[in-house]
Amino acid sequence: MSQIHTLYAITHSLYSGRARSYLIKNQIPFRELSTGHESFKVEVLPKGKLATIPTLVTPAGEVIRDGAAIIEHFEVANGRPCQPAGPRQQIISALFDVIGTDGLLRPAMHYRWNFPEDNLDFIRYHFLYSQRDTPQREEKTEAMMNRMRHAGMIFGVTEQTSEMAETLYLEYLDALNAHFEQYPYLLGWRPCIGDFGLIAPMYAHLGRDPHPARLMQQRATRVYRWVERMNRADQDAPEFFNAGTDLLPDDEVPETLLAVLRVLSEDFVPETRAAAAFINTWLDENKPEAGEPAVGRLAHSIGMAEFTLRGETINALAQPHRFYLLQRVQAIYAGLSPVEQASIEQLLGGCGMSEILTIKLDREIVREENLEVWRA
Ligand SMILES: N[C@@H](CCC(=O)N[C@@H](CS)C(=O)NCC(=O)O)C(=O)O
C-alpha cells in the first residue's frame, strides 16, 4: 500500500497552509490535489461532509476534514511531537493556534481583497486553476471570487475601520518581527502547534498575495523568513549562529512573544467576549439538538457580534469555531495544579489575555464524524 497521504488543498487557501506546513515539517509524505478533481466530489466529500479544505485522505483511505483534526490525527499517532511539555508553553501554543485560525481574519481578508490593483490578477489565477477546464470555469471563478470579495467586511473591515485594522496589523507585524530576531519559531528552535495555527493567515494571504507580501518583505523581513521556514522540512535558520534544536528549556515563554500577544489581545479579547455573548443568546433562543452541526463552511455564521476596538465599533461574524479551539486552551488550564494555574494567570494577565480562560459558550462543541457539533 502506498504511504503517501493525499491533501485536498489549494495554494491560496488560508487553512490549507496550516495542515501543509505540519505535513512538511513532520516529514509526512503527501501529494496535494485541488478539490477540482473528480475524486474529491465522488470519494471524499461523502465522508468529509463539508466541502472545505484542507481535507486529508490517509493511505488507509480514512478521510479527515479540518486542519485541527488533521494535525490532531498525527499528534495522537506520534506521541504529540509538536505539543510543548510544560504548561506555560502548552497554553501559549494552543492560544496561538486559536488566534492564527480565527483571530487574524480581518487583516488576512483586508489585504487580499481591498488592494485589487496589486492582487486581483494573481488571485484570479488561483481561483481559476483550482478547477478543471470546463465551459463554466470562468463563470464559476467569478462566482467564487464574488462570494469571498466581501469577506473583509463580514469579518469587520469597512471603510470606517480599515485604517485602524491596518495600524493594528502593523503593530503586530513589528512585534512579531522583533520576536523572530531572537528565535526562528514561536517557542524556540522548532515549531509547535501554535506556529502551525499562525501560519494559516500569514502564508497564503499575508505572506504571499502581492500587496501584503511586499509589505511583509520590506517591513518585517524576519517574519517573511519564518513564513518561508514554515514551508521547509529542515530548520532553515542559517541566520542564527547559536541555534538549538528544541523548544526553549524550563517552560520559558519569551518576553518578545508576550509583546506580540499584548498587541493581539486588543481585538482578540473584546471580539471573543462579544461573540460568546451573541452565540450564548442564540443558543438560548434556538436550543439546537445535540449532534446538530455547530460549524459550517467559511463565513457561515449565525450572526454578527458588535464590539469596540480603539474607539471604533466593529461588527464581525460570531463564529462558534473559535470556541471549539478555545475549549482546548481552557481544557489544558483545567487540568493543571493550582500552582500551575496561578502561573498561567500571571502569564496571561501580563499580556491582556486573562479573560480567554473564562469566556465560554454555554454548550460545548465536539467532533463527530468529521463535523463539529453541539453537545447535549
Ligand atoms: N475549520 C476548517 C475551515 C476550513 C475552511 O473554511 N477552508 C476554506 C478555504 S481556506 C474553504 O474550504 N472554503 C470553502 C467554503 O467554505 O466553501 C479548517 O480549519 O480546516
pLDDT band at 35 (very low <50, low <70, confident <90, very high): very high
pLDDT band at 1 (very low <50, low <70, confident <90, very high): low
Tell which one of 297, 319, 365, 371 to mutate to probe ligand 1, the residue whose CB is within 8 A of the most ligand atoms: 297
pLDDT band at 302 (very low <50, low <70, confident <90, very high): confident
- Spatial contact of 179 and 254, defined as CB atoms under 8 Å apart: yes
The DSSP result for 134-191, as a single string, is -TTHHHHHHHHHHHHHTHHHHTT--TTTHHHHHHHHHHHHHHHHHHHHH-SBTTBSS-
Cα 65 to middle of ligand 1, angstroms:
9
Strand partners, 371: 368
Apex 132 CA angle, 298 and 56, nearest 5: 50
Q: State if residue 152 touches ligand 1 by the CB under 6 angstroms criterion.
A: no
- 352 domain-assigned: no
- Using one digit for the tens of pLDDT, what is the confidence trace for 196-215? 999 999 999 999 999 999 99
DSSP letter for 223, please.
H
Nearest ligand 1 atom, CA 52: 12
Tell which one of 202, 298, 370 to mutate to probe ligand 1, the residue whose CB is within 8 A of the most ligand atoms: 298
Mean pLDDT for 288-294 is: 94
DSSP letter for 298, please.
T
Sequence-ordered alpha helix ranges (H) in the chain: 14-25, 38-39, 45-48, 67-77, 87-98, 105-113, 116-128, 137-149, 151-154, 162-182, 193-203, 210-219, 221-229, 255-286, 320-334, 338-349
Domain range for residue 63? 5-77
**Residue 61: CATH number of its domain:** 3.40.30.10
Helix (H, G, I), strand (E, B) or coil at 303: coil
Prior bond of 54 cis (ω within 30°): yes
Give the total number of structural domains in the chain: 1
Mean pLDDT for 227-246 is: 98
Res 2 pLDDT > 80: no
Report the distance separating Cα 66 and Cα 16, nearest Å: 9
Nearest ligand 1 atom, CA 296: 16
Residue nearest to atom 20 of ligand 1 (CA): 66
- Spatial contact of 248 and 187, defined as CB atoms under 8 Å apart: yes
Residue type, 204: A
| Grid coordinates given for 338 | 493550582
Sheet of 5-8: strand order equals: 30-33, 5-8, 55-57, 63-65
Q: State if residue 14 touches ligand 1 by the CB under 6 angstroms criterion.
A: yes
Cα 309 to middle of ligand 1, angstroms:
27
Nearest ligand 1 atom, CA 321: 1
Q: State if residue 297 touches ligand 1 by the CB under 6 angstroms criterion.
A: yes
- 157 domain-assigned: no
- 66 domain-assigned: yes
Q: State if residue 298 touches ligand 1 by the CB under 6 angstroms criterion.
A: yes
- Spatial contact of 6 and 30, defined as CB atoms under 8 Å apart: yes
- Spatial contact of 316 and 286, defined as CB atoms under 8 Å apart: no
DSSP letter for 247, please.
B
User: Residue 298: what pLDDT?
Assistant: 62
Report the distance separating Cα 199 and Cα 31, nearest Å: 20
Report the distance separating Cα 184 and Cα 236, nearest Å: 8
- Using one digit for the tens of pLDDT, what is the confidence trace for 72-92? 999 999 999 999 999 999 999
Nearest ligand 1 atom, CA 299: 16
Mean pLDDT for 255-267 is: 98
CB burial string 220-244: b at 16+ within 10 A, e below = bebbbbbbebbbeeebebeeeeeee
- 51 domain-assigned: yes
- 220 domain-assigned: no
- 128 domain-assigned: no
- 195 domain-assigned: no
- Using one digit for the tens of pLDDT, what is the confidence trace for 62-71? 999 999 999 9
Residue type, 181: E
Mean pLDDT for 327-342 is: 98
The DSSP result for 100-119, as a single string, is IIIISHHHHHHHHHS-HHHH
The pair phi, psi for residue 375, each rounded to 5°, is -85, 160
The two beta strands, 5-8 and 30-33, are parallel
Q: For the full predicted model, state whether its pTM sits above 0.85.
A: yes
* CB atoms inside a 10 Å sphere around CB 270: 17
Report the distance separating Cα 250 and Cα 194, nearest Å: 18
- 40 domain-assigned: yes
User: Residue 300: what pLDDT?
Assistant: 64
Angstrom CA distances, 74 to 56, 77, 97, 108, 189, stand at: 11, 5, 16, 27, 21
Nearest ligand 1 atom, CA 68: 19
